[in-house]
Structure 1
């Protein structure tokens, strides 16, 4: 693999580690809204790094002209890089919503999905890309 991929993979790995640290704090009793918001923000950049790293990986395999997150998700699933395509499409939907979240219950639901579902999906992808 090329150095561009290696750099993106290292950034994705680091972002995932930082997200996991925030989720650990979020899962503590009495975690504040600030911690929850930090989980969501770390999720946003981990998600961006995940799909962009996957795009470079697929390009290195000769799969080009996939430029949107949804197209990358579909191709990555076809290449068996993802565990559950439905979870990734839900993740995409949540990522698109995060910058416009004003309702407390939606924010809490997304943070819970990050904690219970998305971390595992990121870890599965990281394992496949390494």
Structure 2
């Protein structure tokens, strides 16, 4: 997914230590986009697998995705949701600076793992036909 690729670039820049305040804000926006697309993609995948109950909220979709092993760490996804909410509704530079490290170390791998799991599921589905 392009949103993950863009976040990977931003995380690489962050790790190299060469981000100004505008680039840091951009990285946070890329995280928010990747998170939104991530949970909504989970929901869409679950619908294609016949799940309908309780998956129209991020929490429900994440928990259901975890139950079928689409995501390994539901709590990390829920933690990311809380960070996303805090950054987008209560933006404070001190919180944003601390969140960048967590985005790079903890949340980017969640998105990468989801993309890999969806790719694996797509390959398995094609092989079954």
SS of the counterpart of 2:89?
A: coil
| Deviation readout 1:61-110 (Å, 9 max, x if unpaired) | 00013100010110011111112111111001011112124322210121
- What TM-score do you get using the length of structure 2 for normalisation? 0.86
Instruction: Check the 8 A contact 2:87/2:95 in 1, yes or no.
Output: no
Name 1:127's counterpart in structure 2: 116
Larger radius of gyration: 2
Q: Is the 8 A contact 1:101 1:107 kept in 2?
A: no
Instruction: Show the 5 A alignment for 1:54-73.
Output: 54-65=42-53, 66-73=55-62
> Which residue pairs with 2:30 in the alignment?
42
* 2:86 is the counterpart of 1:93: no
Paired position in structure 2 for 1:108:
97
How far has the Cα of 1:113 moved from its partner? 0.9
Count of paired positions: 118
Cα 1:47–1:31 shift into 2, 3 Å: same
Unaligned runs of 5+ in 2: 120-129
Q: Which runs of 5+ in 1 are unaligned?
A: 1-12
Aligned-partner SS, 1:99: helix
- Give CA-to-partner distance per residue, 1:19-42, whole Å, 9 cap, x none: 111111122224211111111000
Instruction: Give the corresponding residue for 1:80.
Output: 69
Listed as ranges, the matches of 1:22-33 within 5 Å are 22-33=10-21
Residue 17 of structure 1 corresponds to 5
